[in-house]
Structure formats: structure tokens, C-alpha cells
């Protein structure tokens, strides 16, 4: 897949993610106790959550949101431009990331930084990302939703498969809920 850079067995879209930056973030980025990190799988409502948190931080005053671009208010730690902003940013930082937990900055685990993790139904993520990427020329577009569905199941998303963001216990709990909710549907509907 030429549209991807691989790191730790996970494909990242080459248009946005660089292996060297992800490795630098994982090993050397210093997470501060006062940092807040928004973590999502791509196309899960990330921008909505950033806007909500920014409004909470300003007690509902929209001036900051209206005057400062979203990528400056909550830079993406996993991109070159976001990383450059964050390492020089003073005070409490609002950080955004699509990185799975095992690639997160090591310093997070010894800090008091807070994480807001947003999860969305994988079916909705699939449909949203299919239509989003289909409107761009940034990557190879699938010829159909079925093809994209196959890519999605193989983990060829922006940051690997959807479950990479979950711990083993969370993934098992999720599987149990899905199995309960899918009981009664024909098995061939969800191979």
C-alpha cells in the first residue's frame, strides 16, 4: 500500500503521518500534568468534541473558537505541524490525537494529564470515512463501499484497525456487546 507509512505494524496514511514523528512523539514528547488530550479513532466526531471542549474552557464564550483555527487550539500531536506547535506551547495544552494507546507518548503514563476518549459505532465510522475519503484525491479511493468495508476490516484505516484504540479488556467487552446486539441477525450478514 503506497498510500501508507507503517509503524509498529499499523498503517498510517502517508499524506498526513510520518513514521519519524510518531516515533519521536512516542519516545520523547513530554506530557504535562495540566494537559488535556482528545483521543479518537478517525471520523468519530473529533472536531465536534474539540469545539465542545473549547467552549467549556472559555465558559461558553465563542470568541476564541471564532478567531483561532482548530489546529492551533487543539493541535494534532501525531502530525509534523501539530507536534511543532505543541512542543513550544506554553500553559495547559489541549491536544488531539488518533494514536492508539500503545503508541501514545510514554510520558503520559507518569503524568496526571487527562484523556477524553470518544468512541463511535464502527459502522458509522466506516460510512463517514468512506464518504470523506471518496471526496478527496489524497489517497487511492475504493471503487465501492464493499471494497472499503474490506479495507476497514483489514485495519487499513488512518491508524490501523478500529480496535487498536481499545485495551484487550475493552475490546472483549465491546465484542460481547456487539454479539448480544447482533443476536438474531443472519450470520452471513456480518461475516
Known catalytic residues? 98
The β-bridge relationship of strands 36-40 and 114-118 is parallel
Please list, in sequence order, all residues whose beta carbon lies within 8 angstroms of the beta carbon of residue 73, skipping any fewer than 6 positions away: 50, 54, 64, 65, 94
Q: For residue 25, which of 69, 74, 84, 71 has the smallest C-alpha distance?
A: 84
3-class secondary structure for 62-101? CHHHHHCCHHHHCCECCCHHHHHHHHHCCCCCEEEECCCH
Alpha carbons within 13 A on the beta-carbon side of 82? 25
Residues linked to residue 11 through DSSP beta bridges, in sequence order:
6
What DSSP state is assigned to residue 16?
T
Amino acid at each position: 500500500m503506497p498510500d501508507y507509512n507503517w509503524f509498529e505494524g499499523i498503517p498510517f496514511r502517508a499524506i498526513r503521518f510520518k513514521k519519524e514523528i510518531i516515533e519521536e512523539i512516542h519516545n520523547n514528547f513530554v506530557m504535562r500534568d495540566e494537559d488535556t488530550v482528545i483521543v479518537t479513532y478517525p471520523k468519530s466526531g473529533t472536531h465536534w468534541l474539540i469545539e465542545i471542549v473549547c467552549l467549556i474552557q472559555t465558559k461558553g464564550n465563542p470568541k476564541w473558537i471564532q478567531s483561532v483555527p482548530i489546529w492551533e487550539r487543539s493541535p494534532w500531536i501525531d502530525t509534523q505541524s501539530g507536534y511543532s506547535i505543541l512542543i513550544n506551547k506554553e500553559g495547559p495544552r489541549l491536544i488531539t490525537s488518533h494514536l492508539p494507546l500503545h503508541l501514545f507518548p510514554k510520558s503520559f503514563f507518569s503524568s496526571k494529564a487527562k484523556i477524553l476518549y470518544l468512541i463511535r459505532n464502527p459502522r458509522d465510522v466506516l460510512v463517514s470515512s468512506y464518504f470523506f475519503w471518496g471526496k478527496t484525491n489524497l489517497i487511492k479511493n475504493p471503487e465501492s463501499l464493499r471494497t472499503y468495508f474490506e479495507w476497514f476490516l483489514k485495519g487499513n484505516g488512518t491508524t490501523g484497525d478500529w480496535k487498536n484504540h481499545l485495551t484487550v479488556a475493552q475490546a472483549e467487552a465491546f465484542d460481547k456487546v456487539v454479539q448480544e446486539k447482533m443476536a438474531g441477525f443472519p450470520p452471513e450478514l456480518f461475516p
